[in-house]
Amino acid sequence: MFTINIERWVPKFILNDKNGYAIAKAIETAMQTMNDIVAQGLACVSDFYQMPEWRLDEMAWEYNILYDYNADVETKRGWIANALKFYSLYGTAEGIVQYLEAAFDSASVEEWFDYGGDPFHFRVNATGEWSEEAEAWAMKSIEAAKNVRSVLDTITFNTGDATATLTTLAAAYAAEIIEETTAS
C-alpha cells in the first residue's frame, strides 16, 4: 500500500488557486480511498494468513484440493498456502503424511518393501486422538492422496492409551478389486 500525494502530479498554478487546490485534494482523497480498498481486496485473495475463514473455504473449492471444512482455521491456512506443494505430493507417501498430520499428532507410511508386504501395498500409522471424524478424514485423505495403483493394507491408530488397527477389505481377503472394462 502506498500514500498518494496529488501535489506531485498537479501543476503548481492549479494548486495556487483555492478551487483548484480543493478539487486536487478531493481527487487525492478519492484515489487514496480506492487504493486502500484495492489493497484490502488483494490481501483477501493473496494473503493466506490474513484472509477470513470463509475465503479459505472458497479457495479450497476453487483449488479443488482435499480439504476438511470442519478443521481449525490454522490448518486450513496451511492447506491453502501449500496447495501447489500438495498437488506435487499426490501419489506419494509424503502426500498421505501431510494430510494425515492435519488430524493426528504424527503419521507415517510403511511401504510394502519395508514390512514384506505384497508389491504396491502400504500401511499407515497415526498417533493422536482418535475419533470417528478423524478416522473418516484418514480414509478420505489416504484415498485421495495415494497413488492409484497402491493398496492400503492397514491403518494403526495409537492414542497413547490404546492401539487400534483397521484392516482394509483388500488386505483381509488378499485381493484387489479391479474394474474391468470392455471395448465396444
| Tens of pLDDT, residues 77-126 | 888 888 888 888 888 889 889 888 877 888 999 999 998 888 999 999 98
Residues 8-46 have pLDDT tens digits of 999 999 999 999 999 999 999 999 999 999 988 887 777
- Hunting for cell 501447489 — which residue is that? 84
Residue written as grid cell 493398496 = 151
Q: How far is CA 107 from CA 45, 97, 100, 136, in A?
A: 31, 6, 6, 15
DSSP category for residue 6: G
Interatomic CA distance for residues 134 and 131, integer angstroms: 5
Cα angle 67-70-76, degrees, rounded to a multiple of 5? 50
Q: For 143-184, what is each residue's pLDDT tens digit?
A: 888 988 899 988 888 887 777 777 765 555 554 444 445 555
pTM: 0.61
Q: In angstroms, how far is the first alpha carbon of the chain from the final one?
A: 61
Which is it for the CA torsion 59, 132, 162, 172, positive or negative?
negative
DSSP label at 168?
Answer: P
